[in-house]
């Protein structure tokens, strides 16, 4: 989603475009190879960027949130999306596979610990990774918090957000027969994994279109149609994760393990009018995390590309650079 929005409004604030000094395919096992790149200063403060979705992939614009003189930036496409292969594959593709992949990247690159930067699903994964490997995380920069709870999924796929965007909700929900609309995630899952590529792409574009329409506060509700290949991976992976509850249970839920990151510094940047990930989750997270700071951006929605969101993320990275001797 963030990739498709193009980062237009954020562009004037960002650092100049940077070409990677390292690009590689990393074999992570289970038949998966993931794309990894590094930009910035090879001797700088390490930071890993976790993209949204699941299934969104990284974009060149994501490199530009970090001062290239200060940061060594690691970006990668998570299993099944972007330049990683096999494309749109959900076998051996769970939250815990991704956590293991992040650790493998860190060890492969010889990084002792790093800042973790993620938004939306990337924030979810950042929190789960930090709770699993707290000694490897120096700080967390999060945007558009999603805690991967059923209530959040119910909001977005059960009609809550549709109260604000009724025309877009109708397009998304009425593509499914009435007798299946009580569980739209399951209904879309059946079609996204039908085995017929044309059907899968058609429903993938509906799935991605519903999300993209609500991402930015200035959206007119009519985003451009995403390319078939991108939409196919994005929708299949996202739906796969959501139908499985993010592969979390009562013991591994984010809010159940906040004690593990209590002392890790964190900055949470949240749009006040985020229709995809409402601010209540960011507020709950902040309340349970003593070392965190919550920045509520008054006029912003969910998108990374929004000016206010970008301003606060850049400030967060400036703060972390000066926080302590690295």
CA distance 173 to 171: 6
Length of the chain (residues): 326
| 259 noted as active-site residue | no
Say if CB 289 and CB 260 are below 8 A apart. no
Cβ atoms within 10 A of the Cβ of 216, count? 23
| Rounded-to-5 percentages of helix, strand, coil across the chain | 45, 15, 40
SS3 25: strand
Say if CB 297 and CB 271 are below 8 A apart. yes
Furthest CA-CA distance within the chain: 59
| Active-site residue (options: 7, 59, 101, 120) | 120
Cβ atoms within 10 A of the Cβ of 256, count? 14
| Active-site residue (options: 59, 292, 302, 305) | 302
CA distance 301 to 215: 6
| 274 noted as active-site residue | yes
| Active-site residue (options: 274, 286, 292, 305) | 274
DSSP 85: B
List active site positions. 120, 274, 302
């Amino acid at each position: 989603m963030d990739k498709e929005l193009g980062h237009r409004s954020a562009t004037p604030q960002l650092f100049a475009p940077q070409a990677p000094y390292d690009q590689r395919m990393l074999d992570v096992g289970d038949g998966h190879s993931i794309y990894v790149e590094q930009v910035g200063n090879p001797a700088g403060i390490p930071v890993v960027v976790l993209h949204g979705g699941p299934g969104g992939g990284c974009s060149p614009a994501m490199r530009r949130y970090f001062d290239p003189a200060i940061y060594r930036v690691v970006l990668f496409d998570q299993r099944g999306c972007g330049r990683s292969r096999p494309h749109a594959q959900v076998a051996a593709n769970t939250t815990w596979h991704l956590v293991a992949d992040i650790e493998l990247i860190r060890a492969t690159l010889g990084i002792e610990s790093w800042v973790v930067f993620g938004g939306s699903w990337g924030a979810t994964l950042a929190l789960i990774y930090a709770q699993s490997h707290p000694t490897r995380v120096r700080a967390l920069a999060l945007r558009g918090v999603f805690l991967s709870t059923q209530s959040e999924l119910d909001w977005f796929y059960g009609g809550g957000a549709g109260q604000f965007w009724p025309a877009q909700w109708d397009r998304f929900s009425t593509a499914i027969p009435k007798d299946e609309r009580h569980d739209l995630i399951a209904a879309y899952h059946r079609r996204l994994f039908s085995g017929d590529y044309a059907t899968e792409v058609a429903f993938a574009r509906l799935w991605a279109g519903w999300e993209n329409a609500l991402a930015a506060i200035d959206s007119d509700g009519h985003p451009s149609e995403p390319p078939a290949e991108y939409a196919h991976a994005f929708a299949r992976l996202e739906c796969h994760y959501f139908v499985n509850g993010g592969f979390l249970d009562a013991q591994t839920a984010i809010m159940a393990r906040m004690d593990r990151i209590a002392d890790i510094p964190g900055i949470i940047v949240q749009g006040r009018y985020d229709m995809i990930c409402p601010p209540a989750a960011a507020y709950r997270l902040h309340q349970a995390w003593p070392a965190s700071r919550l920045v509520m951006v008054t006029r912003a929605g969910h998108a990374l590309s929004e000016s206010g969101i970008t301003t606060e993320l850049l400030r967060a990275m400036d703060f972390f650079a000066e926080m302590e001797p690295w």
